[in-house]
Every structure is written in C-alpha cells, then in structure tokens.
Structure 1
Amino acid sequence: MRIVTYNVEWFNTLFDDAGRLIDDDSWSSRWNVTKRQQTAALGHVFRSLDADAVMVIEAPDTNRRRSTVRALTQFARDFDLRARAVRTGFPNETQQQIALMFDPAVMQAGHDPKSSPDAPAFDGKYRVDLDVDAQPETIRWSKPPLEVAVITAAGPLRMIGVHAKSKAPHGAEDGAAAVRIAIENRRKQLAQCVWLRKRVDAHLAAGDDLIVLGDFNDGPGLDEYEKLFGRSGVEIVLGEDGPLGLYDPHGRMALGRKVGALPTTARFKRKDQPYLQALLDYVMVSPGLRVKAPQWQIWHPFDHPTCYHDPVLRDALLLASDHFPVVLDLGI
C-alpha cells in the first residue's frame, strides 16, 4: 500500500467556485508559473505517484461557495486517479484545508475526531504553559488536524493529517518584532505538537496502528530559537524511539546528526537569493506498522534518482509545488 503526504502550494487558486480546474494561461499564485502549467504538473505528479492514499496539505478551500471535496473529486476525475474519494475534517478559514484522497477499492476512510480530558478535539482549545510565567496559554489550531479511521483488507488503522503552525515572523516591522513573533510562533507550534502527542499516546495505549503525516513547519535544528525550548515539535511528536515512539527515518536521521547532509522535502525561492531547502514534511508510523516492511522516499526532483532521470517528472515536481511528496510504501 502506498501512502503519501503532499503539500500543494496554492492548490486553492487553481479551481473556480464550482470546483472546476482553471486551465488557462493566467498566472497561478506560484511565482512565474501559469495555472495551466501548475495544473498539468500536478496531474502528472499525482498520476506518477499512483498512490492508494494522499494526505493533501493546503488542499482547496471549503466555504459558503467552495467545496474541498467537490474540487478534489473533479481533479481526480480530470486526471483519472485511483485516489478519487475525498474526506475532510474540521474546516478552517485559511484557504488551506487538509484532505485525504484515497482509492475506495482499496480502503474505506472517514473523519473520526477523538477527544479526552487532556487532549480535546482539534477544533477546540488547549491550555499549556510553555514559558516561565506559570500561566498556561490558550492554543488553537488554525488548521485542525484531520483524524481519519481507515479500514483496509489487512485491518483498521488510524491517520492524522497535520499542518502545524508556521514559525515565520510574518508582519514584523523591524528586527526586534521579528524575534518576538518568531519566538511566539515557535511556542504555539510546540504547544500544537504537545497536544498532538497526547492524541498519539492515546492511540498507542489503545494498540492502534497509526500514521501521522503532513507538514510540521519544523524539524530538529531548523532554527536558532529551538535552543530556548530544548527540542523541536517533530521530536515531541516522534517521542522516544521505542515501544511508544513513532518512526520516520528522515526525522530520526535529523535527530542523530549535528553536521552533514540531511534529506529535504521543500525548496523555497527567495528574491535574488539561492533557494532555501528544508526538511518539513514527515510520515511517522507506529511500532505495529514499522514491522510491515515500510519504505520511505522523498520525491525530490534532484535528490531522488528516478525523479531526476525523468525530465518530465522532474520538471513537473518543480512546477507543481514548493514541497515534494513524501511516500511510504507499506507491506499491507
């Protein structure tokens, strides 16, 4: 079974309110990419992945006029994708939903949010003290994680799709404001990951097979503010490597390496500067799934040999998004 997480930059702007693709030469919201180019590129990438399930991060919007399900169902139809069924969770107001596309011939899936006294449902509020004032802050998810109950021929499993808080200091007017906002955003991102880890603990205690996947906007050693809090959000969600830990080889590699090359899942253009690359996207599995012969790949257009030596796929990955798919192949 092939399970993918894929953050698609500005997916929402490729659809009209009826959920139809805008397949013309107007500019997409991606820099120097038309809607026709991005649409064709995404179709090629999704077809090449041929996944049983794709957790789409930054999926098209749901509001009074628009529907994530309608847009992605039409997208799957336009490109004849096996992953043609769509499930969403709690909608948000950011125009960046989280959605699961899946092959209904292979699995059944439904939104199944959980709640407990120490970990409320992800559309609620969470109180935690992450600074030194002994006063807990109230934390909300701007993009509530998508909790999915999945049934496969091999049995049930759980998925949680995640788009954690960005730590970028958007709106800063000067250097001091940038530092203050960056620290505040990191605090919120860590609190979200503590909240998510509580949910992970509950599933592991219940013996559930679990996959946590998506964009964490974080990773070990990713920024200097990590020193203020001692660890990254990814470390919190992964937990200790063992019977209660989740596993992602790229995350574990980053945890164990202070110097040297690391895999990357995103490539950002900066004005008049070299591209910035980062490891932001993960597919974490519980111990019960780790014994199912899992194989991870990052479909990076320059680092993955198959992608690099296929010029059409390589160019499609570059045109489609600033993130690249993270692929998990499981022996189930």
Structure 2
Amino acid sequence: MRLATYNVEWFNALFDDRGRLLADNGPSARYKTTRAEQLGALGIVFTALDADAITIIEAPDTNGHRSTVTALENFARQFRLRARKALIGFPSDTEQEIACLYDPDRLTITHDPQGNASTSHGSTDAPRFDGTFRYDLDADMVHETIRFSKPPLEMAVTTSGGTALRLIGVHAKSKNPYGANGREAQLRLSIENRRKQLAQCLWLRQRVEGHLSAGDSLIVMGDFNDGPGIDEFEKLFGHSGVEIVLGTGEATRLYDPHAAMALQSRVSLAPTTARFYVAPQKRFLEALLDFIMVSPDLAARQPDWRIWHPFNDPAVMAVPDLREALLQASDHFPVTIDLPGLN
C-alpha cells in the first residue's frame, strides 16, 4: 500500500467556483506558470505517485460557494487517477484545506474526529481539533488559548482486506512573520508564531498518545512548517515541533527516517522536501518540512519512505518530464510511504 502527503501551492487558484479546472493561459500562483501548465504538471505528478491515498495540504477551498470535494474529484477524473474519491474534515478559515484523495476500491476512509468539543474557554485535554486548546507556553502560570487555522484531518481507514488504520493530516502553524515591519516586530511575531506552532504540536502529541494507548496503527503526515535544527528559535524553546510529535518514549515514539536523519545530523547533510526562491538573496533555499510519521507497529513492517525530489532522487532525475513537472507543480515535493503486507 502506498500513502502520500503533498503540499500543492495554491491548488485553489486552479478551479472556478463550480470546481471546474481552469486549464487556460491565465497566471497561476506559481511564478511565471500558467494555470494550464501547473495543472498539467500536477497531473503528471499525481499519476506518477499512483498512491492509494494522498493527503493534500493546501487543497482547494470549501466555503459557501466552493467545494474541495468537487474540485478534487473533477481533477482526478480529468487525469484518470485511481485515487478518485475526495474527503475533507473541518473546513479552515483560509483558502487552503486539508483533504484526502483516495482509491475507493482499495480503501474506505471516513472523517472521524476525536476528542471532546471544547467550550469557548477551551480545554487542556486534547479537545477536538476544531476547538480551543489551553496550554501554558511560557511557564508564567497562565494558559494561552490555541486554535488551528487549518484543523488536522482525522481519518478512520479500512483497507479492502479489513486492516484498520488511523490517519491524521497536518498543516501546522507557519513561523514566518508575515505582516511585521522592522526587525523587532519581525522577531516578536516569529517568537509568537513559534509558540503557537509548538502548542499545536503539543496538542497533536496528546492525540497521538491517546491512539497509541488504544493500540491503534497510526500515521501522522503533512506539512509541519518545522523540522529538527531548522531555525534559531529551536534553541530558545529546546525542541522542534516535529520532535514533540514524534515523542521520546521507546514504546510511544513515532518514526520517520528523514526526521531521524535530521536529528542525527544537525549541521551536515539532511533530506529536504521544499524549495523556495528567496528574492533578496537571489537564490533557492531548501528545507525539510513534510513528514510521514508511523507508530511502532507500522515501523516494524519496514516500510519504504521516499521524497520525490527532482534533483535528489535518481529515479526522478531519469525521467525529465516528471522532474520538470515536480518543479512546476509546487514549492513542496511529495513524500510517500510504501507499507508492505497491507491489503
């Protein structure tokens, strides 16, 4: 079985309000890329992935006029993908949703949120992800209130052979100081955003521990906007959000080999999943932001993880059309996991 996570940059801009593909020469949100070009590139990438289920980060919007499910199912139909049925959880307040596109012949997937619905006051005990979490982030004996702008998508998965899995799709808070003017304001907002990102990861870790205590086979995947050793704020707070979600106890630790490599190699080589152009420096920078973490029972199956990086994966490099499509489709690259023995 192959599962994937893929952050598609401004997927929403490629559809009209009726969920129809805008395969024209109008500009997409990708630099110097038309909507037709980005859609064509995405069709190549999704076809090559050939995954049983893809957790899509920054999926098309759901609101009173637009439907994530309609847009994604039209996309799957256009490119004849076997992962052709779409699912969304709690809609976000942004134009970016977390969704899942999956093969209904291989999997049955339902949105199955856990935790209690919190009151307006919030809860310290892993409330439902559309609620409010309370946590003392700065040890001042006062609980801050935390919400997800993009609530994680919690899924109950059953394979055609009857195997049950829990899947959580994540898009954690960005730490970038958008809207801040001046160095001091940028630093202040960066620290505030880092605190919120860590609080979201603590909330998520509480949910992980609940599933592991129940003996669930668990997969947590998505864009954490974070990673071991990724910035100077990690020194201030002691850990990255990714480390918090992974956990520390032997029996309750999630596993992702790319995170493990980064943890073991703070100042040397580490894999990357995203590539951004930084205009002031006139260069591209890369980061490890996207992960697929699995529970110990699934790690024992010795799955195969893969980052579909156009320059670092020899199999991708050998297919020029796929290499160029990955560069044109998004500023993130897909990550897949092949789980043996799951039918």
* TM interval, short-chain normalised: over 0.9
| Equivalent position of 1:123 in the other structure | 130
Distance 2:300 2:263 in 1: 21
Give 1:17's aligned amino acid: D
Matches within 5 A, 1:1-332: 1-116=1-116, 118-152=125-159, 153-240=161-248, 242-271=250-279, 273-331=282-340, 332=342
So what's the TM-score if we normalise by structure 2? 0.95
Q: Relative to structure 2, which stretch is displaced further, 216-225 or 286-295?
A: 286-295
Structure 1 runs (4+) deviating above 2 angstroms are none
Deviation at 1:133, TM superposition (A): 1.9
Distance 1:164 1:101 in 2: 20
Distance 2:69 2:139 in 1: 43
Give 1:69's aligned amino acid: V
Give 2:65's aligned amino acid: R
SS of match in other structure, 1:212: strand
SS of match in other structure, 2:204: helix
Distance 1:215 1:204 in 2: 22
Q: Where does structure 2 lack aligned partners over 5 or more consecutive residues?
A: 117-122
SS of match in other structure, 1:21: coil
Distance 1:232 1:271 in 2: 26
Distance 2:302 2:135 in 1: 37
Over aligned residue pairs, what C-alpha RMSD do you find?
A: 0.9
Give 1:304's aligned amino acid: D
Distance 1:176 1:260 in 2: 30
Give 1:218's aligned amino acid: D
Asked if structure 1 preserves the Cα contact closer than 8 Å seen for 2:228 and 2:266, the reply is no
Asked if structure 2 preserves the Cα contact closer than 8 Å seen for 1:241 and 1:247, the reply is no
Q: Relative to structure 2, which stretch is displaced further, 234-243 or 245-254?
A: 234-243
Deviation at 1:154, TM superposition (A): 4.8
SS of match in other structure, 2:71: helix
Distance 1:250 1:240 in 2: 16
Deviation at 1:291, TM superposition (A): 1.7
**Structure 1 pair 294–241 and aligned structure 2 pair: CA distance change class (3 A):** farther
Asked if structure 1 preserves the Cα contact closer than 8 Å seen for 2:307 and 2:313, the reply is yes
Asked if structure 1 preserves the Cα contact closer than 8 Å seen for 2:28 and 2:34, the reply is yes
Distance 2:258 2:301 in 1: 18
After superposition, give the CA deviation of every residue in 1:121-175 in whole Å (9 maximum; x if it has no partner): 0000000011132211000000000000000115100000000000000011100
Task: Give me the identity figure in percent.
Answer: 60
So what's the TM-score if we normalise by structure 1? 0.99
How many pairs were matched up?
332
Distance 1:258 1:324 in 2: 22
Q: Relative to structure 2, which stretch is displaced further, 109-118 or 310-319?
A: 109-118
| Equivalent position of 2:119 in the other structure | none
Deviation at 1:241, TM superposition (A): 5.9
Distance 1:154 1:37 in 2: 40
Q: Where does structure 1 lack aligned partners over 5 or more consecutive residues?
A: none
